């Protein structure tokens, strides 16, 4: 009987689903032979001398035999020698007996004994003969090998002796127990003048005394370390050795320590080389290196070398001073970012990388740097790429010459030139004013004096009075012009002293207004002052009065009859006081505003009733305001008036 087994995770409603879900089959036979055949197959059914399995029901009898693996259906012959094993099992409460039987095979021990002995004797005799022949051949071959080895050993010894005697190095083996040389090659005599016999006759203290006194400590130290170090490494040391003629030469000693089976030092075996010429070359090279280093360190220019990663590999004393370092070890392996501000270091590294990437040197490039004291220096730098033997760029050589004094001189010359240009402009302006503004009043004044001198007899008292008033006005304008010229000249030459102090603003404004109020009253101009009485400023009172007087005078001069002037002041957020003077006068266009504060450009014009103007007042005001750290500016529209603003420090500045 075969029964299907389905997967529990799949549905089995349809035929197709059952086919997909099937996992296997359960087989159930009706007969025991079929069951055992399914379990064992045909296990040993053809091999009668092997283990035989028989299954009985209840007891062992022909009638109760259920299964026989041999299939003959007979009971076991009890007279035949065999091994048996019975097991009782009870499947489903049914008692079965499993009987296992194996026949015992009998092998005759003395069967064909004579043949075995004969064959064995022949084989043993043959083996003994072959062994004898093998031993004879082995002995003969060993004698041949021994002879060849002896010959080769002699040849090897000759070659080794030939190499040792013709080598530039002296070989030796020194016994640590006897303090004598077991071997010392003849080369040692050629190097030092001492034979091996002479070295053996010298005491250990005498041999040690042949080493220079300054080199004995380091040789003793190395020997002590070698005798305590079991790593079997090669030891090397350079020392001076006194030859037989009394002169010293440099030797390089390379040796190993030989150890016995108990790990105790037995001997020193090594070689000695004459390195006197090499030492002379090294000393000369060291002297040249020290001389070159002394030159590099004492050159006032900055000299340095960098690798391809822009890290310092050399820096002289001047370069160390710029970086704020005391020793070269502080800067080796570091780049400019470790010593200079970020932006400055970026500029240095960018130029260095460009030189190394292009392989082209740059000369006389101006670079600036700031030392640790905050002082700015200017360097005239040259950067040259360095190459290896294969033509590859391996770094950069930099040289920087300090040109700070020259740059300061250039800046001073530039400043002097600018100052000279300004003075020339002032001079030109001064002469322009003298040629234009000063000549016209003088012409009018001279004309009046000429009339009075030539026609005084024909002039009436009223005419004389009018002429005198005109002469007075002309003289007043001339005086004001000369006063402005002198004051402006003093400002340009920095001859006016600046003494700021905390002062009340209102009294200064009142004093300045008092000088222009008669003119304002004559033109029926309304003047309003909208400034708080507790407002204080930090200013020079004379300069502040000059500023206010000029601004008030200009407002009255360029405001028509019946106009209005408003003065106000407010506190700004940066603790400055902003003062404004607003009028309803004739105003200005943008072209006039642009040249209002420019020296050398004529910006003077007559007032609403022909009042004269020098054009210097506003320039003086601007200089005085900037002296206080403030600003002066104007907003205006032609025909609608102007407003002048300026800032002055408050008392808390």
Residue 33 confidence class, pLDDT cut points 50, 70, 90: low
User: In the 8-state DSSP scheme, what is residue 51?
Assistant: -
How many other CB atoms are found less than 10 A from the CB of residue 313? 16
pLDDT band at 110 (very low <50, low <70, confident <90, very high): very low
pLDDT at 73: 47
pLDDT of residue 242 exceeding 80, the answer is yes
Residue 172, SS3 per DSSP:
strand
At a CB cut-off of 8 Å and minimum separation 6, what does 29 contact? 1, 35, 38
pLDDT in tens, 311-356: 999 999 999 988 888 899 999 999 999 888 888 889 999 999 999 9
Whether 170 and 270 have beta carbons less than 8 Å apart is answered as no
Segment 642-646 mean pLDDT: 94
Task: Render the burial of 536-548: b for 16+ CB within 10 Å, e for the rest.
Answer: ebbbbeebbbbbb
Q: Which CATH number fits domain 299-402: 3.30.450.20, 3.40.50.2300, 3.40.50.1100, 3.90.550.10?
A: 3.30.450.20
Residues 368, 259: Cα–Cα separation, whole Å: 67
Domain with CATH 3.30.565.10 in the chain: 497-649
Which tens digit of pLDDT belongs to each residue from 484-538?
Answer: 666 666 666 666 678 899 999 999 898 888 877 878 888 899 999 998 878 899 9
Distance CA 523, CA 556 (A): 8
The CATH number of domain 167-281 is 3.30.450.20: yes
**Measured between alpha carbons, how far is 118 from 437 in angstroms, rounded to an integer?**
162
Domain with CATH 3.30.450.20 in the chain: 167-281, 299-402
Closest CA to 616 of 457, 437, 471: 437
Encoding tokens for residue 585?
Answer: 């006068």
Judge if pTM exceeds 0.85: no
What pLDDT is stored for residue 533 in this prediction?
A: 79
pLDDT at 308 over 50: yes
In CATH terms, 497-649 corresponds, of 3.40.720.10, 3.40.50.150, 3.30.565.10, 3.90.320.10, to 3.30.565.10
Higher per-residue pLDDT: 78 or 271: 271
Q: How many residues does the chain have?
A: 653
Under the banding of pLDDT at 50, 70 and 90, the label for residue 427 is: low
* pLDDT over 70 percentage in the chain: 81
């Amino acid at each position: 009987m075969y029964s299907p087994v389905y997967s529990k995770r799949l549905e089995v409603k349809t035929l197709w689903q059952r086919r997909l879900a099937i996992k296997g089959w359960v087989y159930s036979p009706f007969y025991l032979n079929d069951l055992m055949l399914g379990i064992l197959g045909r296990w040993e059914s053809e091999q009668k001398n092997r283990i035989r399995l028989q299954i009985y029901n209840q007891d062992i009898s022909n009638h109760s035999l259920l299964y026989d693996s041999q299939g003959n259906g007979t009971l076991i012959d009890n007279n035949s020698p065999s091994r048996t094993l019975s097991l009782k099992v009870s499947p489903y409460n049914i008692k079965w007996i499993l009987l296992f039987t194996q026949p015992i095979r009998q092998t005759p021990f003395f069967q064909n004994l004579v043949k075995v002995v004969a064959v064995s004797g022949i084989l043993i005799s043959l083996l003994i003969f072959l062994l004898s022949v093998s031993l004879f051949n082995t002995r003969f071959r060993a004698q041949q090998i021994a002879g060849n080895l002896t010959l080769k050993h002699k040849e090897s010894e000759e070659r080794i002796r030939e190499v040792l005697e013709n080598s530039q190095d002296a070989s030796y083996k020194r016994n640590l127990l006897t303090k004598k040389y077991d071997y010392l090659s003849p080369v040692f005599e050629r190097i030092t003048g001492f034979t091996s016999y002479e070295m053996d006759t010298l005491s250990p203290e005498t041999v040690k005394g042949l080493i220079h006194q300054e080199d004995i400590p380091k040789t003793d130290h190395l020997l002590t370390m070698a005798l305590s170090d079991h790593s079997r490494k090669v030891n090397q040391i350079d020392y001076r050795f006194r030859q037989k003629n009394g002169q010293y030469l440099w030797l390089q000693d390379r040796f190993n320590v030989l150890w016995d089976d108990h790990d105790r030092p037995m001997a020193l075996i090594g070689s000695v080389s004459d390195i006197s010429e090499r030492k002379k070359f090294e000393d000369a090279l060291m002297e040249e290196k020290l001389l070159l280093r002394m030159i590099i360190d004492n050159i006032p220019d900055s000299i340095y070398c960098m690798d391809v990663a822009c890290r310092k590999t050399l820096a002289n004393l001047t370069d160390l001073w710029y970086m704020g370092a005391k020793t070269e070890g502080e800067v080796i392996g570091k780049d400019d970012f470790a010593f200079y501000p970020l932006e400055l270091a970026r500029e240095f590294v960018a130029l260095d990388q460009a030189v190394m990437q292009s392989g082209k040197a740059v000369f006389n490039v101006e670079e600036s740097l700031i030392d640790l004291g905050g002082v700015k220096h200017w360097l005239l730098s040259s950067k040259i790429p360095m190459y290896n033997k294969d033509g590859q760029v391996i770094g950069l050589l930099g040289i920087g010459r300090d040109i700070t004094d020259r740059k300061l001189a250039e800046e001073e010359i530039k400043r002097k030139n600018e100052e000279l240009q300004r003075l020339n402009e002032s001079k030109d302006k001064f002469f322009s004013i003298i040629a234009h503004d000063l000549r016209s009043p003088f012409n009018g004044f001279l004309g009046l004096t000429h009339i009075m001198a030539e026609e005084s007899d024909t002039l009436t008292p009223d005419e004389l009075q009018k002429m005198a008033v005109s002469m007075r006005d002309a003289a007043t304008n001339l005086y004001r012009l000369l006063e402005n010229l002198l004051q402006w000249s003093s400002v340009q030459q920095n001859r006016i002293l600046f003494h700021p102090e905390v002062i009340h603003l209102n009294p200064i404004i009142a004093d300045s207004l008092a000088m222009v109020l008669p003119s304002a009253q004559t033109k029926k101009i309304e003047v309003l002052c909208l400034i708080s009485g507790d407002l204080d400023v930090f200013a020079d009172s004379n300069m502040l009065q000059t500023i206010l007087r000029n601004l008030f005078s200009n407002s009255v001069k360029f405001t028509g009859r019946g106009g209005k002037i408003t003065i106000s002041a407010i506190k700004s957020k940066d603790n400055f006081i902003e003062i404004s003077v607003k009028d309803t006068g004739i105003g200005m266009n943008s072209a006039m505003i642009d040249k209002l504060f420019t020296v050398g450009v004529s910006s003077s014009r007559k007032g609403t009733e022909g009042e004269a103007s020098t054009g210097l007042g506003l320039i003086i005001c601007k200089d005085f305001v900037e002296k206080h750290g403030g600003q002066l500016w104007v907003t205006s529209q032609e025909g609608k008036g102007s407003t002048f603003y300026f800032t002055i420090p408050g008392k808390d500045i």
